[in-house]
């Protein structure tokens, strides 16, 4: 029990509790009784006695090691001597040694961690009888559950994972909305950050809210795959998402449930027993030769001129354009290498810029010829940047000097600026509205229309497979289909 005494402040009794922190330094906490001094001394003393008995010092946070937390918590939780003795023996013989090995923080403890601990206890603990083993498991569960209850009350975790597990039977009632977030946290270290951000965004904005409201557990989904099918129908028919977007949701759900199956939480993957939506065929917008000429005139001298040329002529992605570095331009060999990307992603509501010496796929890393007009434009830009740095002096940002696309103050052009300013230019000049990425499609369509074969287009654009190139771009050149029709009609019997 912590020490304590009453103090009078502004005519009100204050309870002053005294304890030692982890460094054995004396700490105090003041709690008001809200009782006026006159006539309330006995009430205040009773409140102090209760507070001294129930108060547990705040020595931890959500990142505290779980075994350390339990060891401290049991000494401060004011148990009766008999209860303390039982808890202490079980904690130090079984719980602490196990979690000292697996290393979990308070906030990272999951139902699966607890289930694994109880299974390890059943398998490896030297307990003579089955009845003693059962008693030990139940006592361990009680200790862990009470400790985590304090963590819930302290706001370190939202819910108590021990509430979702029956340690005697091994039955686990895990809400799917909780499990998919645990799975995502596990996936964070094994996938690209862009991929993780996409998974997390779709889960938090759509999947988790829907299944949280329904209250479905993993076992509910296993027994009723229709619950997953209902979700897809809701997204398309009520929310209005496209089938392609829902297909991405399906991929996330299926991967998550496949992991639940692999670790033995369910006996089969219910996502394998539902019908995923049919994929929509995406037909891209693009500019023809005349429209590109008008665009080039509109962007002449504009900050977005170079990005437009890189996208329309070289078919480069926005991330490749913003990530283009001067050391990737070889003025002697007349080549331009695409091997660095810069992208913006939203991670937990925050905009994060990612720089990678790695393109979208291995095939996306490519070297293309540096044509004379573009070479001249780059040489002129390089000279402009030297002059801008000279004019700005110390105010010039030198952090991004290796990048080609920078503003007048040396700041690297942001990916979002490219897309946003592109649309402004189109609107201002009454040009057909297309996405910036559609300039890449325009490049492909012109190559195809001018007789460049699909294999060469694949290599120029950096597609991983020729199938991607064929499926995306072969519908562009309608004139070739007209030629085919006319060739067939040449052999069609004449009408008499």
Asked if pLDDT for residue 359 goes beyond 70, the answer is: no
Domains of the chain: total:
4
Segment 235-265, tens digit of pLDDT:
999 999 888 889 999 999 999 999 888 877 7
Mean pLDDT calculated for residue range 20-38: 80
Range in 164-178, 388-402, 435-449 the model is least confident about: 164-178
Residue 484: the pLDDT is 46
Query: Is there a domain that residue 422 lies in?
Result: yes
Claim to verify: residue 42 and residue 121 sit in the same structural domain:
no
Among 136, 164, 192, identify where a domain stops: 164
Contact between residue 398 and residue 406 where contact means Cβ atoms under 8 Å apart: no
Mean pLDDT calculated for residue range 104-133: 86
For residue 82 the two structure tokens come to 């008999």
Segment 360-418, tens digit of pLDDT:
666 678 888 888 888 888 999 999 999 999 999 999 999 999 999 999 999 999 989 99
Claim to verify: residue 202 and residue 343 sit in the same structural domain:
no
Asked if pLDDT for residue 432 goes beyond 90, the answer is: yes
Q: For the chain, what is the mean pLDDT? A: 84
Segment 473-496, tens digit of pLDDT:
555 555 554 454 555 545 455 554
Rounded to 5 degrees, φ, ψ at 356 are: -140, 135
Range in 53-62, 210-219, 451-460 the model is least confident about: 53-62
Query: Is there a domain that residue 386 lies in?
Result: yes
Residue 397: the pLDDT is 93
The Cα 211–Cα 217 span in angstroms is 9
H-helix or E-strand spanning residue 356? strand 350-356
Claim to verify: residue 392 and residue 341 sit in the same structural domain:
yes
Claim to verify: residue 29 and residue 131 sit in the same structural domain:
no
Domain that holds residue 32: 3-54
Contact between residue 33 and residue 50 where contact means Cβ atoms under 8 Å apart: no
Mean pLDDT calculated for residue range 266-292: 83
Residue 148: the pLDDT is 92
Claim to verify: residue 42 and residue 76 sit in the same structural domain:
no
With a pLDDT cut of 70, the percent of the chain lying above it is 88
CATH number at residue 459: 1.10.443.10
More confident residue, 220 or 173: 220
Residue 174: the pLDDT is 79
Query: Is there a domain that residue 492 lies in?
Result: no
Query: Is there a domain that residue 332 lies in?
Result: yes
Contact between residue 134 and residue 168 where contact means Cβ atoms under 8 Å apart: yes
Claim to verify: residue 185 and residue 267 sit in the same structural domain:
yes
Among 114, 133, 164, identify where a domain stops: 164
Range in 154-163, 173-182, 204-213, 458-467 the model is least confident about: 458-467
CATH number at residue 119: 1.10.150
Query: Is there a domain that residue 382 lies in?
Result: yes
Rounded to 5 degrees, φ, ψ at 50 are: -65, -45
Task: Judge residue 408's burial from the number of C-beta atoms within 10 Å of its C-beta, 0-12 exposed, 13-18 middle, 19 or more buried.
Answer: middle
Claim to verify: residue 318 and residue 441 sit in the same structural domain:
yes
- In terms of C-beta distances under 8 Å and separation of at least 24 residues, what long-range contacts does 400-407 make, across chains too? 402/325, 402/326, 402/327, 403/322, 403/323, 403/324, 403/325, 403/326, 403/342, 404/306, 404/324, 404/325, 404/326, 404/329, 404/378, 405/306, 405/307, 405/321, 405/322, 405/324, 407/303
Segment 293-315, tens digit of pLDDT:
899 999 988 889 999 989 888 88
- DSSP structure class, residue 465: S
H-helix or E-strand spanning residue 406? none
H-helix or E-strand spanning residue 176? helix 176-187
């Amino acid at each position: 029990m912590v020490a304590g005494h009453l103090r009078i402040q502004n005519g009100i009794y204050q309870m002053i509790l005294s304890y030692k922190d982890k460094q054995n330094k004396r700490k105090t906490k003041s709690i008001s009784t809200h009782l006026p001094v006159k006539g309330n001394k006995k009430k205040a003393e009773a409140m102090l006695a209760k507070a001294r008995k129930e108060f547990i010092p705040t020595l931890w946070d959500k990142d505290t090691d779980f075994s350390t937390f339990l060891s401290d918590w049991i000494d401060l939780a004011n148990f009766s001597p008999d209860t303390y003795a039982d808890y202490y023996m079980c904690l130090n013989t079984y719980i602490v040694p196990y979690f000292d090995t697996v290393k979990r923080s308070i906030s990272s403890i999951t139902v699966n961690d607890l289930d694994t601990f109880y299974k390890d206890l059943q398998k490896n603990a030297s307990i003579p009888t089955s009845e003693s083993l059962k008693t030990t498991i139940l006592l361990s569960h009680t200790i862990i559950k009470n400790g985590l209850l304090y963590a819930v009350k302290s706001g370190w975790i939202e819910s108590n994972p021990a509430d979702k597990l029956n340690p005697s039977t091994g039955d686990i009632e895990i809400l799917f909305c909780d499990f998919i977030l645990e799975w995502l946290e596990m996936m964070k270290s094994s996938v690209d950050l862009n991929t993780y951000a996409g998974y997390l965004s779709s889960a938090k904005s759509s999947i988790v809210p829907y299944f949280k409201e329904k209250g479905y557990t993993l076992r509910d989904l296993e027994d009723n795959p229709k619950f997953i099918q209902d979700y897809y129908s809701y997204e398309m028919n009520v929310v209005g998402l496209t089938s392609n977007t829902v297909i991405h949701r399906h991929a996330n759900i299926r991967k998550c449930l496949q992991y639940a199956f692999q670790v033995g939480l369910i006996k089969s993957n219910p996502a394998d027993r539902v019908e995923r939506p049919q994929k929509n065929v995406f037909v891209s917008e693009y500019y023809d030769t005349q429209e590109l000429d008008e665009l080039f005139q509109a962007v002449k001298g504009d900050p977005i001129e170079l990005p437009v040329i890189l996208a329309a002529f070289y078919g480069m992605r926005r991330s490749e354009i913003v990530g283009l570095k001067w050391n990737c331009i070889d003025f002697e060999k007349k080549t331009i290498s695409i091997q660095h990307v810069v992208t913006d992603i939203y991670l937990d509501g925050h905009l994060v810029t990612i720089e990678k010496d790695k393109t979208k796929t291995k095939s996306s890393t490519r070297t293309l010829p540096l044509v004379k007009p573009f070479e001249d434009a780059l040489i002129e830009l390089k000279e402009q940047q030297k002059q801008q740095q000279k004019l700005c002096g110390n105010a010039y940002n030198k952090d991004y000097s290796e990048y080609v696309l920078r503003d007048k103050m040396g700041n690297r052009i942001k990916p979002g600026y490219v897309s946003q300013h592109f649309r402004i230019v189109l609107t201002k000049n009454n040009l057909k509205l297309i996405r910036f990425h559609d300039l890449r499609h325009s490049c492909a369509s012109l190559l195809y229309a001018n007789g460049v074969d699909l294999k060469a287009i694949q290599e120029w654009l950096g597609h991983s497979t020729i199938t991607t190139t064929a499926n995306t771009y072969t519908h562009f050149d309608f004139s070739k289909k007209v030629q085919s029709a006319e060739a067939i009609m040449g052999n069609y019997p004449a009408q008499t």
